[in-house]
Amino acid sequence: MAFMRSAARAGSLGGKRAFRISTRARGIASAAPAIREYPQHDIPPAQPPPNRREAIKSAKPFSAFLTDTFQRQHDYLRISITEKCNLRCLYCMPEEGVPQSPPQHLLTTPEIYLLSSVFVQQGVTKIRLTGGEPTVRRDILPLMHQIGSLRSQGLRELCLTTNGLSLHRKLDSMVEAGLTGINLSLDTLDPFQFQIMTRRKGFEAVMKSIERILEMNRLGAGIKLKINCVVMRGLNEREILPFVELGREQDLEVRFIEYMPFDGNKWSQGKMLSYQEMLDIIRAKYPTLRKVQDQKNDTSKTYEIPGFVGRMGFITSMTHNFCGSCNRLRITSDGNLKVCLFGNAEVSLRDILRKTNNGDPIDEQAFEAMKQIEMDRRQGITSAQGPLGGTKHEQELLDVIGLAVSRKKEKHAGMGELENMKNRPMILIGG
C-alpha cells in the first residue's frame, strides 16, 4: 500500500542534514556548549523554481477525501497521543480528573504512525501532537522520530502542544526528530496564581522549558514558539499586559484565547473576556498596536507593537469564528476522527485500522510483520495482501475519512448553543 512504503524507513534519520553553530560567534555565554548541532528541518536543497504556468500545470490535485463541500482543504492534522495530563487546569477538566479509556482502546505508536502516513499521502503537510499532555507519553520520542520520517513523503511541519512541565528534558531529541513548532500553554506569570489555575506546582519547570526553547533558537534550532494564554474574567485578565511584555525582546508570539465551553469546565459567558475587551486593555497602554496581515488558515488574529520583537494573537472562537478558512482535522487518543473542535460527531478510524490484526491493537510485533509482508510483496516473494489488508481496508479508511469530512458544517454552533451542547472535555479532545 502506498502509505506503508515508507514504513521500513520509519524512525530512520538517514539523509538528515545538520548545521554547526559556534556559540562564540553568536555571543552566547561560555556556559553553553561551544558547538551545537541541530537538524535542519527545511527540506532538501531548493531547486530553481518553475515558472507559474508550469507550476500550475504540474500541480497535484488536492485529495478529494480531505476536501469538504465548502471547498476547504484539510492539510493540518492534530493527533491526541494520550488522555493523561500532569496538570488540572480549570478550563480543561475537573480537579478529580476524567474517566480514562482502557489502554487497549488507545492508539498504539504503530497505529499513530500508520494514520499519520495515510493523511500525509493524501496531502496533509502539518501534524501537531497534543494530549492530554503529550510529553507524559513514555514513547513520545521514538514516535516523533517515526512521524518525522514522513518528511520525505511531503510532511513539512511537526509541532507539539504542551504545558511545558517536562519539555526541557526531551526538547533536544524532539528537535532532532524534526520538531518545527511548539504551542506552550501558560495562563499566568505568577507562580502562586499558576498553582491556583493548574491545581499543581511546576511554574519554574515551565519557565525553564521556555528559556531552553529560546536558547536553542539562538543556536539555530528554528522552533516557532507560541505561548497560549486562556483569559478568564476575574482570574487572569490583569496579566494580559505582562504577557504582552514577553514579546518586547523575545522572538515569540503570545496568543490570547477566549474562554471556551467543554464538559466539566463550568463555562459561563460572564467568565469570558472577549477579543475586543482584550484589545482595549492593550491599546490603553500601547496605542500604536497595529494589525498584521494574517495567513489564509490562521486561527488567530495577529497584532504587533512597533519596536517589539515578538507579536501577539487572539483566538476568537466565541465572538468571531474562523470556520470559513478551517483546514484542521483531529484524531482523539482512542482513534476517533473529529472534523470540528466544537462538534460532537466522531467516527472511529482505529476499528478499521485493526481489522488487519483481527481487531486487536497493532503493536510493534504486528507492525513489523505487516512491513515484512509489504516488502515481500514488492519483491514478488508473496502475493499476500500488504498492510491494512491491502487496498480493501485502505479504501475503507479513506471512504470513512472522506464521508466525515464531507459532512463538516460550514461553521460551528453559536455561543448559546455551545454552552449546552454535549462534547468531550478538552483533555479528551486534544485541543
> Among 188-202, 253-267, 305-319, 340-354, which stretch is predicted with the lowest mean pLDDT?
253-267
What confidence tier does 226 reach under pLDDT thresholds 50, 70, 90? very high
Compute CA distances 43 → 63, 157, 408, 416, whole Å: 22, 10, 33, 45
The pLDDT of residue 92 is 77
SS3 content of the chain, % helix, strand, coil (to 5): 40, 15, 45
Q: Please state, as a whole number, how many other Cβ atoms lie within 10 Å of the Cβ of residue 421.
A: 15
| 385, pLDDT greater than 60 | no
Give residue-wise pLDDT tens across range 157-205. 999 999 999 999 999 999 999 999 999 999 999 999 999 999 999 999 9
From 198, 165, 164, 194, select the one nearest 182 (Cα to Cα): 164
Burial class for 69, CB neighbours closer than 10 Å (0-12, 13-18, 19+): exposed
- Give the least confident one: 1-10, 98-107, 324-333: 1-10
**Residues 160, 181 contacting (CB under 8 angstroms):** yes
- Model pLDDT, residue 52: 56
CB 162 within 8 A of CB 182: yes
Instruction: Provide the pLDDT for residue 71.
Output: 94
Contact between 214 and 222 under an 8 Å Cβ cutoff? The reply is: no
> For residue 205, how many C-alpha atoms fall within 13 Å in the half-sphere facing its CB?
15
User: What pLDDT is stored for residue 28 in this prediction?
Assistant: 28
Residue 266 pLDDT grade (very low, low, confident, very high; cuts 50, 70, 90) = low
- The pLDDT value given to residue 58: 56
Q: For 228-240, give one letter per residue: b (16+ CB within 10 A) or e.
A: bbbbbeebbeebb
Question: By the 8 A CB rule, do 352 and 396 touch?
Answer: yes
CA distance 311 to 290: 10
How high is the mean pLDDT of the chain?
A: 82
Give the pLDDT of residue 18: 39
- Looking at CATH, the fold of the domain delimited by 62-347+405-428 is given as TIM Barrel (3.20.20)
The pLDDT score that the predictor gives to residue 26 is 35
Residues 12-64: tens digit of each pLDDT: 333 343 333 333 233 323 333 433 555 554 444 444 555 656 654 555 678 99
Instruction: Map grid coordinates 454552552 to a residue.
Output: 419
**Cβ contact 304:292 at 8 Å:** yes
CA distance 87 to 185: 11
